[in-house]
A = this chain, B = another copy of it.
Amino acid sequence: MSALSDVARIAQVSKATASRALSGNGYVSAETRDRVVAAAATIGYVVSSNASSLVTGRTRNVGVVIPHINRWYFGDVLEGIESALIAAGYDLTLYRLSSDAAERRRVFEYFLVRKRVDAVIAVGIELTPHEVGLLGGLAKPIVGIGGPIQGIPTLSIDDVAAAALVTEHLISLGHTSIMHFGGDQQSEMDFRVHSQRLAGFRQAMDAAGLASGDDTFRATELSMPGGYELALSVLADPRTRPTAIVAGSDEVAIGTIVAARQLGIHVPAQLSVVGIDGHELAPMFGLTTLAQDPGAQGASAVEQVMAELDGESAAVRAWTPYPVRLEVRSSTTAPLTA
């Protein structure tokens, strides 16, 4: 493997000059630079990022911690982050956090701390103050996606408002028997997203004077199979079946629709369903959903990180709700007495 010294020797300059010529830092005469660049090209020289990082303290690499890869919302966010990072010339090191606490500790206390990453983006994970402190102590920027984290900038929609909005949509259609298929309230993993969406749902129901008690909420994994299984069991009984469902995610919504159709329930004539993610596949299913843009949120997070890395650390340390709008489609929601 050729080193900088080889380039220097061939170009007949010192290592320092070669370094300057290649990195673009510092003055180098045009002709010298050309010689150096040519020399580097002929021997196929590429910097050793290790050596370079060791002295500069910068790795041009950011760590991304995320609970799932193969879920619509998370996959979209990840793609958005990936594109933005590559465009900025940064590497992306991926850590999937399971609910296993020991593994989580290992990621934070070992993997993320070894001077391997310049910054961390946490997607859909509520960092503990301890974890924030760990990274913060190393002066590594952190930005979150998916919900407020104490003391660091976070991008997310206003989940309470979002859930309230879709619920109101259903109510405005004349529905009175509405259920929320949401995330497990115990799950530490995904922020307060679950509880906030439930809160928004209840808020809208209460405001309309509708029942919002325990039997209007059922917890499930926020996945297609999750929604499917739950819907199969809840919708089977025609006497207790609601006329509308506020799904905790688009995947849950689709799962619910598939199950309903399988039970012979007509969507939307007999059951209206709304989602919350605004995934690109939603239109295909005609799903009425909130239009948040996960990919764009990922890209914004990268922007934030880059800004902080460039010293603009006075960035927004507070949470800013990401704007959303309700995308109304005809095929999964309908007036109650259409």
Residues of chain A having any CB pair with chain B under 8 Å? 1, 46-51, 53-54, 59, 61, 69-70, 72, 75-76, 78-79, 82-83, 86, 91-96, 103, 107, 109-111, 113-116, 138, 224-225, 228, 255, 258, 280-281, 284-285
Asked whether, in the complex, the Cβ of B96 is within 8 Å of the Cβ of A228, the reply is no
Listed from nearest, the 10 A-B pairs whose CB atoms lie closest are A70-B75, A49-B114, A50-B54, A50-B53, A48-B115, A46-B113, A50-B50, A94-B94, A82-B96, A92-B94
Asked whether, in the complex, the Cβ of A79 is within 8 Å of the Cβ of B70, the reply is yes
- A227 and B59 CA atoms in complex are apart in Å by 42
Smallest CB separation, A302 vs chain B (Å):
14
Asked whether, in the complex, the Cβ of B228 is within 8 Å of the Cβ of A255, the reply is no
- A255 and B281 CA atoms in complex are apart in Å by 10
Q: Given A96-B79, A281-B225 in contact, is the A51-B54 Cβ separation under 8 Å?
A: yes
- A255 and B51 CA atoms in complex are apart in Å by 49
Chain B residues with CB below 8 A from A103, complex form: 86
Asked whether, in the complex, the Cβ of B69 is within 8 Å of the Cβ of A75, the reply is yes
Most buried by B among A1, A70, A75: A70
- A72 and B258 CA atoms in complex are apart in Å by 18
Most buried by B among A50, A91, A111: A50
